[in-house]
Amino acid sequence: MSTKPVFFNEMYDGDAIRPAYAKVTKWFDDLGAETLALKKAEAEALFRRIGITFAVYGEGGSTERLIPFDLMPRVFTRSEWDRLERGVKQRSRALNAFLWDVYHRGEIVRSGRIPAELVYRNEAYEPAVVGINPALNIYSHIVGTDLVRTGPDEFYVLEDNCRTPSGVSYMLENREIMMRMCPELFRSARIAPVDSYPDLLRRTLHEVAPAKCEGEPTAVILTPGAFNSAYYEHSFLADQMGIDLVEGRDLFVDGDFVHMRTTRGPQRVDVIYRRIDDAFLDPLCFRPDSMLGVPGLMNVYRSGGVQICSAPGAGVADDKAIYTYVPDMVRFYLGEEPILKNVPTWRCGEADSFKYVMDHLPELVVKEVHGSGGYGMLVGPASTKAQIAEFAELIKKNPSNYIAQPTLALSTSPTFVDSGLAPRHVDLRPFCLVGKEVRLTPGGLTRVAMKEGSLVVNSSQGGGVKDTWIVAD
Amino acid sequence: MRLTIDHTTRYLYEQPQRRITQSLRLTPAQLKSQKILSWDISSDGAQIGARFVDGAGDVVLLLTKGTNVESVEIRVQGVVDTTDTAGVLTGLKESIPPLAYLRDTPLTAPSEALRALAADVGAGGHDGALSLAHALAGATRDRVDYVIGATEAGVPAAQVLDLGQGVCQDHAHVLISIARLSGLPARYVTGYLHSDASGEAHEASHAWAELFVEGLGWVGFDPANRCCPDDRYVRIGSGLDALHAAPVRGMSFGAGSETMEYSLTVSLGQSQQ
């Protein structure tokens, strides 16, 4: 006998509409079917014109596609958000403390709280930056925390993204579109603005300029180029911040510093917000065949002549096996109890866990430790016996490459489908900025699984996006 | 032993290059086995800067030269007093945990034959890690003959073992690979070697491996010469493999080919200059 999981519906409490959704629901009701259809078509056209057709970075999609935009926003009340905000900021502080620690004395390892092997044998642990001090000891300047909700006050962190989390351009563009679609709502409902994000990001980048920087820091965004799936976001952010978007070939190292080629001659660069992976940053330090990076960049970084955001080596904190220890990091470094919960996780590399996972595959979600974007994963309840058996063989071959989690009862948010509004599962990625202060824009990227019953929200697997509103209680 | 080193490396470009960038790992650390009396790195017309000390305790410098570069010359001159510590590395200020030296790189990735070799040596029964380390170094040399010209630079350990021939770089890679397979952290070391007439054939610009032995720390093994480094050796730098430990890792922007020439003397006593 199987029990159907009960999903938390963010809009309805029984038959009653929850306060968060009251205003927006009434507005859409008053609109009438015909006007609504027009609005939807208009929103779609806007999205196409803007050209947000990229797949979220790291999610592999090589062909450009339009990610469905849902006109119905996802809404939190201010008090719900305040708790989330405290939790996300707390986690970002702990992750940065962890990164500084494991590249220095490794106190958390010495104390026995995290196995040394897991950290130091981790592929994402970068020996080349051991002992290096990034500005303000910050490694991850933009932390994207993926959250799901399972109840009125229950939130779980699915994963942390400490390297180059993408999707923030959606947060900004979704809002832009919503403000054009329903200006009346923005006048009457008190919806927290998100448009300060580019300014806060720019401020964060300036705050982490190296000590050698003289005067106003020069920050740039380093992109792998126009063929990258997130190129739109790179150019969008550069434009919004009023800073230069550069490729590796636009930069060069001379003496102690990095310079940018400009029409007015070389200009020194102090901070590089890089949207390329560690392995490609500098052929003299990492992959020698990389044509995307800047030769000597890592030497300048390590000698204190430039700051790289996020700092090389930051990936060791968002590894899926390390993830299970983040609550311990919060306690160890901050002396606080974690505000946000982790999803219970079995590490298949451990004998007991391996046995449990193999016995319970139909009810679990299994992920590759280094995988991302909904590839290389098994969603037990949604898989056939044959698919499960096939995946079991993969796990047996290399158990420590996998972790397993229970299938979470992801909350639903009302979403426009052919038949009208219907509940669809959602997650949330807010973008936390870490500089002299830790800052969180009230909002984020809500991803929605457009297929009925689907729990996979990744854009590469047919997920869509929504605007995320924080409204006054 | 007082050793005087004079090492000049010259890169010549077929066509002028727009820019040359080189990361230099050319500075020996003060160790119990080596006291650096003087050390100088110079290059005419190039900038040398961006100095830092990495987690392995190596001083790293950056050489940049632009524009229309036809050649780059790096001269290293130094005087070092060496002491025999039986290969045991003492006095190096480093912070990279030994566990980080268990990872594979493309040059040290295991093959079936490397696994079999590691298993063979392990099956021999050893009284502790040090004895195992010696056995691994011995087995490396038994399986790979010292033959100059049999390999180019940068041949993966797996290929070296199949070929059964190589020079110091190849021996070091094979030893590093089978040491890691045996659970011993291992790394590539570059340095200079004073050649005396009675020694086996070897190169003055040399490479060997260090294996981490619990309780003792890092211990050098030179499989090419079937010994542990002694007072004929000057240790320069280390890394996961020859690429990471390279004394000069560079890149040039421009067309045409590059040729490298060098002159090196490692002589006894004070410099003649």
Residue B47, chain A, CB below 8 Å: the answer is yes
The mean per-residue pLDDT over the stretch B258-269 comes to 88
The mean per-residue pLDDT over the stretch B9-29 comes to 95
Q: What is the pLDDT of residue A2?
A: 42
Q: What is the pLDDT of residue A51?
A: 56
Query: What is d(CA B107, CA B148) in angstroms, rounded to the nearest whole number?
Result: 19
Residue B52, chain A, CB below 8 Å: the answer is yes
The size of the A-B interface in CB pairs under 8 A is 91
Q: What is the pLDDT of residue A41?
A: 85
Residue B102 shares a structural domain with residue B155: yes
Residue B18, chain A, CB below 8 Å: the answer is no
Residue B138 shares a structural domain with residue B13: no
User: With contact defined as beta carbons under 8 Å apart, do B114 and B131 qualify?
Assistant: no
Chain A residues in contact with B95 by the CB 8 A cut-off are: 104, 130-131
Residue B241 shares a structural domain with residue B251: no
User: Can the peptide bond before residue A400 be classed as cis, meaning omega within 30 degrees of 0?
Assistant: no
Residue B138 shares a structural domain with residue B253: no
Question: What are the structural domain ranges in chain A?
Answer: 12-341+420-471, 346-406
Chain A residues in contact with B240 by the CB 8 A cut-off are: 127
Residue B101 shares a structural domain with residue B231: yes
Nearest chain A residue to B97, by CA: A120
The domain of B135 spans 84-245
Residue B61 shares a structural domain with residue B192: no
Q: Which two tokens stand for residue A128?
A: 């080349």
Determine the Cα angle at A331 with ends A329 and A336, to 5°: 130
Residue B90 shares a structural domain with residue B191: yes
Give the pLDDT confidence of B44-101 residue by residue, as tens digits.
Answer: 889 999 999 999 999 999 999 988 999 999 999 999 999 999 999 999 999 999 999 9
Domain A346-406 has CATH 3.40.50.1360: no
Instruction: Kindly indicate the confidence band of residue B188, based on its pLDDT and cuts at 50, 70 and 90.
Output: very high
Q: Which two tokens stand for residue A460?
A: 């590469």
A219-222 and B248-253: which strand pairing?
A: unpaired
The neighbour count for residue A311, using CB atoms within 10 Å, is: 28
Residue B38 belongs to some domain of the structure: yes
Chain A residues in contact with B251 by the CB 8 A cut-off are: 283-284, 295
Residue B168 shares a structural domain with residue B252: no
Residues of chain A with pLDDT under 50: 1-3, 54-62
Q: Which two tokens stand for residue B85?
A: 């510590």
Q: What is the pLDDT of residue B255?
A: 85
Residue B52 shares a structural domain with residue B118: no
* C-alpha torsion sign, points B198, B203, B204, B206: negative
User: With contact defined as beta carbons under 8 Å apart, do B152 and B162 qualify?
Assistant: no
Q: Which two tokens stand for residue A20?
A: 């968060």
The neighbour count for residue A368, using CB atoms within 10 Å, is: 17
Which residue of B52, B96, B100 is in closest CB contact with A303?
B52
Query: What ipTM does this complex have?
Result: 0.95
How would you label B109-119 residue by residue, b for 16+ Cβ within 10 Å and e otherwise?
ebeebbeebbe
A271-274 and A219-222: which strand pairing?
A: parallel
Number of compact structural domains in chain B: 2
The values of phi and psi at residue A421, to 5°, are -80, 135
User: With contact defined as beta carbons under 8 Å apart, do A308 and A301 qualify?
Assistant: yes
Residue B273 belongs to some domain of the structure: no
The mean per-residue pLDDT over the stretch B19-29 comes to 97
Query: What is d(CA B134, CA A61) in angstroms, rounded to the nearest whole number?
Result: 50
B186-193 and A154-161: which strand pairing?
A: unpaired
User: With contact defined as beta carbons under 8 Å apart, do A8 and A411 qualify?
Assistant: yes
Q: What is the pLDDT of residue A206?
A: 98
